[in-house]
Amino acid sequence: MLTKPLIEQHFHGAFGINFNTAEVDDVLYLAKEIKKYGIGGIFPTIVTDTVENTTRAISVIKTAAMRSTSDMAKIFGVHLEGIFLNPEKKGIHDEKLFMLPTVENFRLIEDDFIKIVTLAPELADTDLLDYLNAKNIKVQAGHCIGGELSGCAGTTHTFNAMKGISHRGKSTALSALINDDIYTEIIADGVHVSDDALKLLFKAKPQDKILLVSDCLPCTASDITEFYFAGEKIFYDGQKAASKDGTIAGSTTLLPCIIKRLHSVGLFNPLWINNSYNYHNIDLDDKVEWDDEWNIIKPM
């Protein structure tokens, strides 16, 4: 069967490459390798870092995008997942580097190649949400506790690093499930979210608002078992990558492998492949061929 190539809008690296520390050639190598897996477009994702390191990483990714060739996944822009998060749901991020989500602070790292910003809406100035929306930057609620999602286009890795479902009051996850107008990222690798929770999201959300993402780490598709990420030493045991205290740092599974897993447990809907195209109003001319078990045969 043929589909459009996959779009990966949330991942921090793979093949030993970390987008926060990569050089231009590293990003180009990753873009070429990942296209072999049927991923035709990417939004390299930057984890919390200093202003200097963040602006450097964005510049590197932007330069790589300008130098990319047709045998590489298209680099559509940067996903900024960091700096403007809630310390209560920091995950692996370094809270010492967090700043309040204000227009003034965003301008410290602002670049026209930033296309997605994950932030804690309960901490954000309304002015910042308006500012980002006016620039057609996708605002996603993540690493947060608030249930008010006005001004947000989506939620980042739903259920993970956010206030969960409650039968009293509002929460981020509950608001994400009942709001038919916003998109919901989900990491369906079998580690981050249980299959029962996946079933709940897949039943609650309109099918055209589900975004499959990997949130994968630099160790993905490599032989790396120990590495530094977000200022922490991360240990990969073959199933999950976590810090010494057990905090999960991200996924170690590429997006097509997630799709194969979902298919194997009867939870995959091929319509979801189109959702990222609609969300970002983008398109690609390439095709990807899959077999009946949702194994990649070859990009075309």
**pLDDT single digits (tens) 175-229:** 999 999 999 999 999 999 999 999 999 999 999 999 999 999 999 999 999 999 9
- Please check whether residue 201 lies inside any domain of the structure: yes
- Please check whether residue 231 lies inside any domain of the structure: no
**Residue range(s) defining the domain that contains residue 154:** 2-222+249-299
- Please check whether residue 235 lies inside any domain of the structure: no
Contact 49, 16 (CB under 8 A): no
- Please check whether residue 242 lies inside any domain of the structure: no
**Cα–Cα distance, 141 to 170 (Å, whole number):** 14
- Please check whether residue 277 lies inside any domain of the structure: yes
Q: Where are the alpha helices (DSSP H) in 125-207?
A: 126-134, 172-178, 195-204
User: Each residue of 256-274: pLDDT tens digit?
Assistant: 999 999 999 999 999 999 9
Q: Indicate the helix (H) or strand (E) that contains 130.
A: helix 126-134
Question: Any idea what the CATH number is for the domain that residue 280 is in?
Answer: 3.20.20.140
Number of domains in the chain: 1
**Cα–Cα distance, 99 to 106 (Å, whole number):** 9
Tokens of 160: 């993970």
- Please check whether residue 230 lies inside any domain of the structure: no
Q: Indicate the helix (H) or strand (E) that contains 185.
A: strand 183-187
Q: What is the pTM of this model?
A: 0.97
- Please check whether residue 239 lies inside any domain of the structure: no
- Please check whether residue 100 lies inside any domain of the structure: yes
